[in-house]
Homo-oligomer: A and B are copies of this chain.
Amino acid sequence: MAKKAVTLGEIMLRLSTPGFKRFVQSDSFDVTYGGGEANVATSLCNYGLNGVFVTRVPDNPIGQSAINHLRRYGVDTQFIARGGDRLGIYFLETGASMRASQVVYDRANTAISEAKISDFDFDKIFDGADWFHTTGITPALSDQAAALTEAALKAAKTKGITTSIDLNYRKKLWSKEKAREVMTRLCQYVDVCIGNEEDAHDSLGFTSEGTDVTKGELNLDGFKDVCRQMIDKFNFKYVASSLRESHSASDNGWSALVYDGKEFYHTKKYEIRIVDRVGGGDSFASGLIYGLMTDKSLPDAAEFAVAASALKHTIPGDMNHATLADVETLLKGDGSGRVQR
């Protein structure tokens, strides 16, 4: 019987322009669905685990299509509440070279942002579960969603389930002040915290010598300092972060740093020719969770996570459709791209 992981959050309709077109040029949109926690649940299913995604979507064909997208990839959708007025939408224009990808959000008043705790039976949801994951996006959606996130984390902890959060600060959803207040409260229920230095600063208020993220350079020492502070304050079991070196919209360096309170481990770095970098962080989170759920050591889990998420960058859509075999091939060192016949 596969292990069970539950994630809670928003799934959005993603509308992206084809072929590097700008929004103003485009007469069609590619349609897919995604969102931080939905992406994690899907990726875990792709690795053979039992991924359960909890959210609320409107009782209309667009909401149904989001559910169908999840089901297609094996996600257990039985606990998704139906109701509310609309599914969140995000518009995506894929960049290239020095032109950044651009996202336009249209995510106010969505079904999940107006969900009530009573829409969900956490007792049933967490029954037999081994892991619970959410992100800093969900509590940012609304006060109601923040309360829902806290209720879920509490319920999970009560059941002895390992919990993880990806900080994912979104400045368009809330202020740093509000984020820090809520996230600080939520982090007391968290075992594994995922987030880079910028997120740690914006969501939780930690500071060190900063990394100028627009320069594509990493300041590992500063971040290590922040990691130490995080574990000091929240008693996280692990802190982990992917490390992106944004050379351009087409090429990124990609590695990860993990910390168990004692030792730091910096993974192998991949140089990636990017197809679609949205969901890159989520694919790192799901890789890490997979590694830890299958009892890998923290460094091994991190290597798995960073290889998995490197592959994600070559796959269109938000979700990581790399299989376990794909990741393992890359982990064994075969990134040569020779045709597999």
Contacts and interface: CB of A to CB of B under 8 A. Distances in A.
Interface of A: 15, 18-32, 60-62, 64-65, 68-69, 71-74, 85-86, 89, 91, 93, 95-106, 108-109, 170-172, 213-216, 246-252, 270, 272-275, 277-278, 310-311, 313-317, 321-322, 326, 329-330, 333-341
9 contacts: A24-B61, A27-B27, A27-B32, A28-B28, A99-B322, A99-B326, A103-B340, A103-B341, A215-B333
A170 to B, nearest CB: 7
A267 to B, nearest CB: 14
B104 A85 contact: no
Given A314-B99, A316-B20, A321 B251 contact: no
A237 B322 CA distance: 46
A142 to B, nearest CB: 14
A252 B337 CA distance: 9
Contacts of A69: 72
B341 A172 contact: yes
B250 A273 contact: yes
A335 B98 contact: yes
A-B pairs with lowest CB-CB distance, top 10: A249-B337, A98-B335, A23-B61, A246-B336, A72-B72, A97-B273, A99-B314, A96-B314, A250-B273, A214-B334
A335 B98 CA distance: 4
Contacts of A250: 273, 337
A31 B24 contact: no
Given A18-B19, A249-B337, 13 more contacts: A18-B28, A60-B104, A85-B108, A89-B106, A96-B273, A98-B272, A100-B334, A100-B336, A214-B334, A216-B336, A246-B338, A252-B337, A277-B339
B72 A316 contact: no
A337 B95 contact: yes
A314 B68 contact: no
